[in-house]
Amino acid sequence: MSKQPLERSSRPRRWQRLAAVASAVAVLPLSALVVTAPTATANSTVCNKYCDGRDPALAGGNRIPVSRTAEGRTVQLHLADGDPMGWASLESAHQGDQIWLDRSWDAGNSWSDGSKLGATTTPGGVGGWRTSMFNNDDWNNTLVGALRACFKSTDTGTNYCTEWARTTWNAGNRETAAQTAMVMRWQHSTGRFENNWWYSAVALRSLIESIRWTGLPSYKYVINETFEKNKNAYQGTFRNEFTDDSGWWGIAWVSAYDLTGDTKYLDAAKTIADYMSSKWSSDCGGGIIWKVGGTYKASISNSLYLKLNSMLTRRISGDTTYKNRATQAWNWINGSGLIQSGDSHVLDGMSTGSCTPSNGGGSYNQGMMIDGLVEYWQATGSSAALTKAQGIGDMLLNTSYYKASGIMRDGCEAGSGVCGGAENFKATAIRGLAALNRVLSNHPYSSYIATNADTAYNNDRDPLAQYGLKWNGPLVVKGVGSQSAALELFNATHL
C-alpha cells in the first residue's frame, strides 16, 4: 500500500537520504539580527520536498507562530509553509548561547527522535543567530510532527522553549489542522490513539468522517493500519467483554466501509453486531447487557446496538436480520423508560434487579441515542423514532446541565475541568445533534453548531491546533478525547 500523506494532488519524488549540510549564507530573510548561517548537526535526517539542513535564506515563506522571551533574549520558531520546514532564531543573543529545534512525532509529549536539531552556539559580535531548516513531517514513514524553538542561556544555563507548532501542510484550515493534530496522537506501534481502546474507536470514526468532509486523503493509512494491528486483540474482531466498546468499533468500521468500499470493514461490523446480539436477554423485557457476566443494561450499549444494526440494514441489500434486530431494540428502548417522558432526558441505564432506569446520563448518552434513532428512521421510516430524537435534541439545547452561555458542556467541566475519562463525551453528543440537524428540513441546530465551532476555534486551541475540554475556554485537558470532540464539532458544521 502506498502511503502518501500529502495535501496536494501530486507528491514530490522521494529524495535520497543524504547527510544534511547547511549552506553558509549571510542573512536570515526578514530579520537583520542574524548575520550568518551556522552548520546544521542533524541527528535524524528527514527528506521530503527538501532534506533537513536547508538554508533559511532559501525558505519558501517566513511565518512566526510562536516565540518566547527570557533573560532579555527572544527565541522564535519560523515556519516556511511552502517547503514545509522550520527553523529557530534567537534575537539579542549573547555569545555562547545555544539554539536548536526540537521535533516531536507525538504532539509534543516526547521529542527524543532528533532532539536538539541544528544545535549551534552563538559566536561573539552578532546581534542574533539561527539554526538551519528542518522538516516537521516525515512523509516516507508517515510520521506527523511538530517543531519548537529552544535556547540555552550562557548566563544561567537555563533552557527556554516556545510552544509547539507546525506548518500548514495538511493543516491549511481549522478542520484539516484539527485532523492533523489528531493523527499526531495515533501510535504507529499499537495502531491506537494514545493506546486507549474505546477512545480509539471514537477517535477513528471522527477522523474517518473528517476525511470524508474535507476530502483530505493523507491519513487514510491510519484506517487500515488500525484494523490490521488490532483485529486480533481481546476476543478478536474488535470484541471484548464490554458491549459498548464493541459497538463503538462496529460503527467506526461501517464508516470505514463507506469511505473506502473495502468489505473487510463491513464484515467486521457484522461480526460485532452478531456478538452484541448474543448479549440480548429477556430480563427487564429485553435489551443487551453492558458487560458480560454483569447485570446492568446501559442506554449507551443499547443505543449503539440500535445504531449499528440500523446502519447495516441500510447497507446490506435485502437484509431482514439486522432490520429485525434494530426494530426489536427500538421497541425495547421506547418502552423501557430510558428516555424520560417528561423532558426527553436519556438516563444511564438499569439493573436487572430493579429494571428501573436511573442515573442522569452524560452528554454522550443523549447524543448516541439521537444518532441511533435518526439512523433507525433512515432505515425504516419510523416517524416516532425521529420525533423522539428531536425531543432529545431540543433538550440538549435548553438544559443548563448541557449548556453554559450557549455552549455545549458536560457537568464535569466545572472547576478544574477534569472529566475522568469522559473527555470525548461531547464528540458523540455533537455528532448525534448533527445527524438530526441534517435530516430535518429546517436544520434547526445549524446556528448552535456554528456558534460552538467558532467558540472552540477562538478560545480552546493551542498553536498546534490541539483542542481542550472546554470549548469556551480556558484551554485545559488536551488529549485524544477532547481532540475527537473538536473534530466532530467541525464535521457537524457540514450539512
In this predicted structure, the answer to whether residue 399 has a pLDDT above a threshold of 90 is no
Express the helix, strand and coil content of the chain in percent, nearest 5 each: 40, 20, 45
Ramachandran quadrant class, 241 (left: phi over 0; alpha: psi -120 to 50; beta: rest):
alpha
What pLDDT score was predicted for residue 401? 73
Q: SS3 of 475, please?
A: coil
How far is Cα 46 from Cα 133, in angstroms, rounded to an integer? Answer: 11
CA distances from 149 to 64, 103, 362, 391 (A): 11, 9, 41, 51
Residue 451 CA to residue 433 CA, distance in Å, equals 14
The pLDDT, as a whole number, for residue 360 is 80
pLDDT at 296: 97
What is the arithmetic mean of pLDDT over 142-146? 96
Task: Output DSSP code: residue 286.
Answer: S
Q: What is the pTM of this model?
A: 0.90
Percent of the chain having pLDDT more than 90? 83
Residue 256 above 50 pLDDT? yes
Dump pLDDT digits (tens) for 334-373: 999 999 998 999 999 999 999 999 988 789 999 999 999 9
- Contact partners, residue 253, CB within 8 Å, separation at least 6: 227, 238, 265, 266, 268, 269, 272
Q: In this predicted model, what pLDDT tens digit does every residue of 265-322 receive, in sequence order? A: 999 999 999 999 999 999 999 999 999 999 999 999 999 999 999 999 999 999 999 9
Mean pLDDT, rounded, of the chain: 90
Query: Stretch 22-35: mean pLDDT, rounded?
Result: 29
Secondary element (H or E) of residue 117: strand 117-121
Residues paired with 74 in a beta bridge:
69, 91
H or E stretch covering 110: none
**Tell me, what amino acid is at 110?**
S
Q: How confident is the model at residue 477 (pLDDT cuts 50, 70, 90)?
A: confident
Rounded Cα distance, 41 and 19, in Å: 9
What average pLDDT does the segment 244-257 reach?
Answer: 98
Long-range contacts of residues 279-283, Cβ cutoff 8 Å, at least 24 apart: 279/243, 280/328, 281/352, 283/352, 283/355
Question: What pLDDT is recorded for position 36?
Answer: 33
Helix pair 425-439, 363-380: axis angle to 10 deg: 30
Q: Taking the chain, what is the end-to-end CA distance rounded to the nearest angstrom?
A: 32
Query: Mean pLDDT, to the nearest integer, of 44-70?
Result: 96
The helix (run of H) or strand (run of E) holding residue 64 is strand 63-70
- Polymer length of the chain: 495
What value does the mean pLDDT take over residues 211-225? Answer: 97
Distance (Å, whole) CA 168 – CA 83: 10
DSSP 8-class letter at 288: B
Express each pLDDT in 73-131 by its tens digit: 999 999 999 999 999 999 999 999 999 999 999 999 998 766 799 999 999 999 899 99
Percent of the chain with pLDDT over 70: 90
pLDDT at 27: 27
The distance from CA 301 to its chain's CA centroid, rounded to whole angstroms, is 23
Nearest Cα to 299, choosing from 396, 206, 364, 391? 364
Dihedral sign, CA of 363, 429, 228, 184? negative
pLDDT interval class at 416 (50, 70, 90): low
Mean pLDDT of 458-474: 95
Question: Residue 199 — very low, low, confident or very high, per pLDDT cuts 50/70/90?
Answer: very high
Asked if pLDDT for residue 29 goes beyond 50, the answer is no
Query: Does the pLDDT of residue 4 top 50, yes or no?
Result: no
Query: Taking the domains of the chain in order of start, what are their residue ranges?
Result: 1-169, 174-492
Q: What are phi and psi for residue 371, nearest 5 degrees?
A: -60, -45
Q: How confident is the model at residue 415 (pLDDT cuts 50, 70, 90)?
A: low
Beta bridge partners, 347, equal 360
**Domain at 174-492: CATH architecture:** Alpha/alpha barrel (1.50)
- Cβ–Cβ under 8 Å, residues 437 and 444: yes
Least confident of 127-136, 316-325, 419-428: 419-428
Give me 250's grid cell.
462496529
Would the pLDDT of 18 be above 50? no
Distance in angstroms (rounded) separating the CA atoms of residues 231 and 363 = 29
Nearest to 183 by CA among 212, 207, 214: 207
Name beta bridge partners: 478: none
